[in-house]
Structure 1
Amino acid sequence: MSEISSPAQSQQLLTPLGVFSDGTGTPGWATTASPAYVACIGILMSQYTITGFDASAHLSEETRNASWSAPLGVLTSIICSSVFGFFLILCLLFSIQDFDSTIASTVGQPVLQILLDIFSEDGAIVLFTLVIICVWHCGLFSMTSNSRMMFAFSRDHGIPRWFHYVDARFHSPVRTIWLAATLAFILALPSLGSSVAFAAATSIATIALYVSYGLPILIGLIWHKNFKKGPFNLGVFSRPVALVACLWIGFISIIFCLPNVDPVTSQTLNYTPVAVGIVALWTFGSWFAFARKYFTGPIRQIQAEEAGVDIDEPGALERAEIEGKIDKL
């Protein structure tokens, strides 16, 4: 370990060998199963962190030249999240002073304990406040994105039409904002009493998101001859990348349903498969019972195609709105 100095106190950094090769901690899945199993179930939080890359697609209806700008936004998000996230994790790992005390911290948060060990109480409070502010903004953006998707989904008759409403005072889809907030609150309630419940909620969100990403990719992969590519595409790499994406989504969907706490009891069991099964059952049941009778797809795109508008042409939808060929948002 190499020694460093800070205004608060003199501390030590782990060596690269200690960060990248040493394994430590109390015996658990590493001995019951294998270190590979531990590495697999440890993917959850990093996979959940990168889920925000689809935000550009969520808001693409308000974007000019969306067929190009939305994919570029997705790529930029992935690159920035991966690079900066990787270096952030490295900084935290190199700064661990004592692994056991970090895990068994009385503050209940390993990251906060690392900051306390390095910067003392005052510095840790300042830095962790910045973390809380960032998390709050992430939640705010998720709320914005979710409410916007629900607003569009209600327009397309995917959920009750009552939610397709813009408040005259705030010029926002207030009803879908409250719907998103209420559903998130209900999903988070079990986490108040169990960290396992929090992991399950995170797993549900991650699996559901990636399955929703994977289904259209899988359809395009199977029926590639009927798949119409947009202006932005990967050319000859489209099918190999799609295959890797589908395999990875299938892999993490299985991994995130496996137990992540040893020993497995009724209190530590991963209930993600049960929750995912309930959601899948409700989704398929509602589709065959009534949704297929009135949900015909994205109305805006259907109207554009019926009016002879090329939705891949930059600015085509905006011009069609002005000319009255399609309904305004």
Structure 2
Amino acid sequence: MGLDGPAHLAEEIPQPKRFLPRIMIVVILSQFAIGLVWILVLGFSVKDLDAIVATSTGVPVLEIIRLAIGSRAAAIVFCCILLVNMVASSLGSAITMSRQGYAFARDNGLFWNDKLVHLSPKTNLPVWSINLSSAIVFAIGLIYLFSLTAFNAIIGAQAVCQIISFGVFPGFILVRPFLNKATGFPALMLLLTKRSMLPASPRWDFGFWSTSVYIVAVLYSMLVIIVAFIPQTHPVTADTMNYTVLIMTCLAVAMIAGWVFEGRGKFTPLRNFDLDSDVQVIEGLEEDVEQHDQDKRQKAQVTAHD
């Protein structure tokens, strides 16, 4: 499901404050271990670099497997196993996208909000949100069949949007009257507001390293965005041009128009004081026993001190 996949399922995880960080750490460690083994195996399996680059399949990793195994039939079987893994990964991506769409629609941030927040009576899942995200992925997959340049531009725009949402763009919404409209905890906003928008909790405080962490995150985000707009080959032609900037411009125009004509009157994001209130979730969160016990101990200490 990727690094951030479990975070989007927080509403469906019992005691998320306790278990969600552990799950994400396990994901990081497991992917590192598996990825390291996979890279080492592929690296030691490279026998003929020219044949791999010039493979008729157009997929160098398939040629590496065939040369390493020495059998075309065995290579096909091995590649089928990889396809199963890819299908499983796509399911994780679909789950992540559907939960993001559900949460955004719950705040009236999308179109067809009433449909996208509808939960199936049988499965208690956001079926419409799952179908919409799957349809979008299917459409992008069709684009790949006809134009690799357009597909790469869309993928590049996706990476830029992800980095912007984490590190840069929300930080510009720092004028005090608009602070209540800001959502999330991106690095630039945390840096410029000195964490004043966050609940008072050591969970959100890196102490002495806070400013350094936020500065590095913002600079890294800016670097990734700049690199994403640069063409990857030279000389630049119509086929090798990086059209990510064009896709981002169209998205920006569409988002601004949506905000001006509809979003600003409907969008109602959660704020700090909403975190402990009753909010519609896919499945009700179970009480965080660890945090509850910690609060009880703190109250007992205050009472004893008084």
Q: TM range, normalised to the smaller chain? A: 0.7 to 0.9
In the alignment, is the contact (CA less than 8 A) between 1:155 and 1:164 conserved in 2? Answer: yes
Residue 86 of structure 1, CA deviation? 3.4
Residue 247 (structure 1) aligned with residue 219 (structure 2): yes
Which of 234, 257, 261 in structure 2 is aligned with 1:289? 261
Which position in structure 2 is the counterpart of 1:222? 192
In the alignment, is the contact (CA less than 8 A) between 2:18 and 2:290 conserved in 1? Answer: no
- % same residue: 28
Residue 147 (structure 1) aligned with residue 98 (structure 2): yes
Which position in structure 2 is the counterpart of 1:95? 45
Residue 224 of structure 1, CA deviation? 1.2
In the alignment, is the contact (CA less than 8 A) between 1:191 and 1:197 conserved in 2? Answer: yes
Which position in structure 1 is the counterpart of 2:147? 194
Please state whether the residue corresponding to 1:53 is helix, strand or coil.
coil
Residue 110 of structure 1, CA deviation? 0.4
In the alignment, is the contact (CA less than 8 A) between 2:109 and 2:263 conserved in 1? Answer: yes
Q: What letter corresponds to residue 186 of structure 1 in structure 2?
A: A
Change (3 A) 1:279 1:305: same
Aligned length: 264
Distance in 2 (alpha carbons) for counterparts of 1:83 and 1:112 = 22
- Cα deviation, 1:71-102, whole Å, max 9, x if unaligned, reads 34333333333343233223212211122211
Please state whether the residue corresponding to 2:2 is helix, strand or coil.
helix
- Cα deviation, 1:249-293, whole Å, max 9, x if unaligned, reads 111111111112333211221111111221122223322332121
The answer to which structure, 1 or 2, has the higher relative contact order (CA under 8 A, 6+ apart) is: 2
Change (3 A) 1:316 1:276: farther
In the alignment, is the contact (CA less than 8 A) between 1:102 and 1:113 conserved in 2? Answer: yes
Change (3 A) 1:247 1:300: closer
Q: What letter corresponds to residue 162 of structure 1 in structure 2?
A: K
Which of 95, 111, 114 in structure 2 is aligned with 1:161? 114
Aligned ranges 1:50-129 → 2 under 5 Å: 52-119=2-69, 120-129=71-80
In the alignment, is the contact (CA less than 8 A) between 2:66 and 2:75 conserved in 1? Answer: yes
Which of 230, 240, 245 in structure 2 is aligned with 1:268? 240
Which position in structure 1 is the counterpart of 2:164? 211
In the alignment, is the contact (CA less than 8 A) between 2:140 and 2:151 conserved in 1? Answer: no
In the alignment, is the contact (CA less than 8 A) between 1:151 and 1:176 conserved in 2? Answer: yes
- Cα deviation, 1:15-56, whole Å, max 9, x if unaligned, reads xxxxxxxxxxxxxxxxxxxxxxxxxxxxxxxxxxxx921112
Q: What letter corresponds to residue 191 of structure 2 in structure 1?
A: L
In the alignment, is the contact (CA less than 8 A) between 1:115 and 1:123 conserved in 2? Answer: no
Distance in 1 (alpha carbons) for counterparts of 2:86 and 2:160 = 21
Residue 300 of structure 1, CA deviation? 11
In the alignment, is the contact (CA less than 8 A) between 1:156 and 1:299 conserved in 2? Answer: no
The gaps in structure 2 that reach 5 residues or longer are: 169-185, 280-284, 293-306
Distance in 1 (alpha carbons) for counterparts of 2:253 and 2:78 = 44
RMSD: 2.9
In the alignment, is the contact (CA less than 8 A) between 1:68 and 1:231 conserved in 2? Answer: no
- Cα deviation, 1:107-138, whole Å, max 9, x if unaligned, reads 11100000000112122122211211111111
- Cα deviation, 1:199-246, whole Å, max 9, x if unaligned, reads 323222222122212242210111115143645343332322222122
Moved more, 108-117 or 62-71: 62-71
Which position in structure 1 is the counterpart of 2:295? none
Moved more, 64-73 or 288-297: 64-73
Distance in 2 (alpha carbons) for counterparts of 1:158 and 1:60 = 20
Residue 232 (structure 1) aligned with residue 206 (structure 2): no
Distance in 1 (alpha carbons) for counterparts of 2:13 and 2:46 = 43
Residue 301 of structure 1, CA deviation? 6.9
TM (norm. structure 1) is 0.72
The gaps in structure 1 that reach 5 residues or longer are: 1-50, 319-329
Q: What letter corresponds to residue 252 of structure 1 in structure 2?
A: V
Distance in 2 (alpha carbons) for counterparts of 1:175 and 1:210 = 27
